[in-house]
Amino acid sequence: QRKEARSASRRKSLVKIPYAVFNIEEFERKISSPRVNEKNKISYQRTLKAFYKYFIRLKNGFVVFSDYYLNIIINNIDDIDKLKKAIDQIYLELSGEVMG
């Protein structure tokens, strides 16, 4: 098989797993600030809720995947389309666009 064909088929099964890097304290400050408009506050609240749903923040500041997040990946690993759909939902939740 040509190199181009091999790399194209490999890309079809490649899924990027979202990993959040947020300044949690900054989000919490913005949520409680009277200067931030309500729409943005809601978005920050949704993002924080998703963060705590999918990740665990350790005492030393490291952030690791939660069991819930890992189970979503593991349960859908055999069906790439289901996995991509689940990942898209996680992206939306972490962006604050939708409530999970």
Residue 12 lies in a domain: no
* Structural domain harbouring 57: 21-95
The reported pLDDT for the residue numbered 34 is 95
The reported pLDDT for the residue numbered 11 is 54
Report residue 29 as tokens.
């400050």
Q: Read off the pLDDT of residues 47-84 as tens digits, 9 standing for 90 and up.
A: 999 999 999 999 998 999 999 999 999 999 999 899 99
Residue 6 lies in a domain: no
Residue 5 lies in a domain: no
Residue 48 lies in a domain: yes
Residue 34 lies in a domain: yes
More confident residue, 20 or 90: 90
Q: Measure the CA–CA gap between 65 and 72, rounded to whole angstroms.
A: 11
Report residue 95 as tokens.
């962006």
Q: Read off the pLDDT of residues 9-40 as tens digits, 9 standing for 90 and up.
A: 555 667 888 888 889 999 999 999 999 999 99
pLDDT at 87 over 80: yes
Specify the number of domains making up the chain. Answer: 1
Residue 1 lies in a domain: no
